[in-house]
């Protein structure tokens, strides 16, 4: 599970506003996660973090990445 650590408006998800502590439920492509977990975004700082104990989220992310590479 990805948790929001900075309030932000997701410009790629119909301007959804995420508050600190929210679960990030938006697009989880490798590129998008790289933007949101690093300073490589318009705000210039990490906005979400991956919670360590959530193997299911990691599995879903890997599946999405595999699907994208097939396209």
* pLDDT tens, residue by residue, 22-62: 999 998 899 999 999 999 999 999 999 998 765 666 666 67
Beta strands of the chain (E only): which ranges?
A: 2-4, 8-10, 16-18, 48-50
Q: Count of CB atoms within 10 A of residue 51's CB?
A: 11
Rounded Cα–Cα distance for residues 43 and 54 (Å) = 26
pTM tops 0.75, yes or no: no
Q: 11: pLDDT confidence band, cut at 50, 70 and 90?
A: very high
How far is residue 69 CA from its own chain's centroid? Answer: 18
CA 16: distance to chain centroid? 13
Predicted pLDDT at 52: 77
Domain ranges, ordered by start, for the chain? 2-70
Q: Could you tell me the pLDDT band of residue 3, with boundaries at 50, 70 and 90?
A: very high
């Amino acid at each position: 599970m990805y948790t929001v650590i900075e309030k932000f408006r997701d410009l790629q998800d119909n301007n959804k506003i995420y508050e600190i502590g929210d679960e990030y439920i938006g697009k989880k492509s490798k590129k998008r996660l790289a933007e949101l977990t690093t300073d490589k975004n318009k705000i210039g700082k990490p906005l979400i973090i991956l919670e360590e104990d959530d193997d299911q989220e990691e599995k879903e992310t890997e599946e999405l990445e595999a699907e994208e590479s097939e396209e």
